[in-house]
Chain A
Amino acid sequence: MLARIGIRSVDELFGCIPGNVRLKRDLKVPGPLSELELVRKMQGTAAKNAANGVLSFLGGGAYDHFIPTVVDYLSQRGEFVSPYTPYQPEVSQGTLQAIFEYQTLVCQLTGLDVANASLYEGATAAAEAVLMAQRVKDRNRVLLARTLHPQYRETIRTYIKNLGIEAVEVPFTNAGTLDPGALSRLLNDATCAVVVQSPNVFGVCEDLKSVSDAAHGKGALAVAVIAEALSLGLLEAPGSLGVDVACGEAQSFGLPLGFGGPYLGFMASRKDYVRQLPGRLCGETTDVEGQRGFVLTLSTREQHIRRERATSNICTNQALCALRATIFLETMGKEGLRELAWQNVQKAAYAADALEAVRGVRKKFSGPVFNEFVLEFSKPWPAVDAALRAKGILAGLPLAPDYPELRNSALVCVTELRTKGEIDRLAQALKEALR
Chain B
Amino acid sequence: MIKQIREPLIFELSAKGKRAVRLPALDVPETKGVLAGVPARRDIPGFPEVSETEVARHFTRLSQKNYCVDLGFYPLGSCTMKYNPKVNERISGLPGFAGTHPNAPADLVQGNLEVLATLEKLLGEIAGMDAFTLQPAAGAHGELTGMMLIRAALEARGKARKYVLIPDSAHGTNPSSAHICGYAVKEIKSNETGTIDLDSLAQAMTDEVAALMVTNPNTLGVFESDICRIAKLVHDKGGFVYMDGANMNALTGIVRPGDMGVDVIHINLHKTFSTPHGGGGPGSGPVGVKREIDPFLPTPRIVAKGDRYELDFDRPQSIGRVRSFYGQFGVILRALSYILTLGPSGLREVAETAVLNANYIRKSLEGDYHLKYTTPSMHECVFSDKSQKASGVTNLDISKRLIDFGLHPPTMSFPLIVHGALMIEPTETESLRDLDLFIDAMKKIAAEARENPDLLRSAPHVTYVRRLDEVKAAKTPVLRWEEKG
Contacts and interface: CB of A to CB of B under 8 A. Distances in A.
Interface stretch (A136-144, A180-188, A216-224, A314-322): A314-322
* Interface footprint category on B: 35 or more
Given A68-B21, A70-B56, A83-B277, A162 B148 contact: yes
A151 B325 contact: yes
B253 A320 contact: no
Interface string B427-460: 0000010000000000000000000000000101
Contact of A346 (B26, B89, B98): B26
Contacts of A240: 39, 41
A27 B479 contact: no
Nearest to A66: B23
A16 to B, nearest CB: 4
Nearest to B52: A70
B190 interface: no
A49 B468 contact: no
A357 interface: no
A126 B100 CA distance: 24
Interface in B167-188: 171-173, 175-182, 185
A124 B9 contact: no
Contact of B69 (A38, A61, A83, A258): A83
Interface stretch (A99-107, A166-174, A189-197): A99-107
B103 A60 contact: yes
Contacts of A353: 31
Contact of A4 (B31, B319, B363, B468): B363
Nearest to B253: A27
Contacts of B352: 10, 13
Interface in B31-72: 31, 34-41, 43-50, 52, 55-56, 58-60, 62-71
B102 A95 contact: no
B96 A47 contact: yes
Interface in B85-115: 87, 89-105, 107-112, 114-115
B176 A336 contact: no
Given A35-B87, A120-B141, A104 B480 contact: yes
B282 A320 contact: yes
A368 B44 contact: no
B364 interface: yes
30 contacts: A5-B356, A10-B356, A23-B253, A29-B343, A46-B96, A49-B109, A49-B110, A56-B104, A83-B69, A85-B280, A88-B403, A89-B465, A92-B65, A99-B280, A100-B479, A120-B138, A124-B141, A151-B324, A157-B320, A162-B182, A256-B98, A257-B102, A303-B176, A314-B141, A317-B282, A318-B281, A320-B278, A330-B58, A331-B21, A394-B104
A358 interface: no
Interface in B309-326: 319-326
B31 A346 contact: yes
Contacts of B45: 108
Contact of A335 (B49, B63, B104, B399): B49
Contacts of B68: 78-83
Interface stretch (B234-242, B327-335, B386-394): B327-335
A157 B467 CA distance: 44
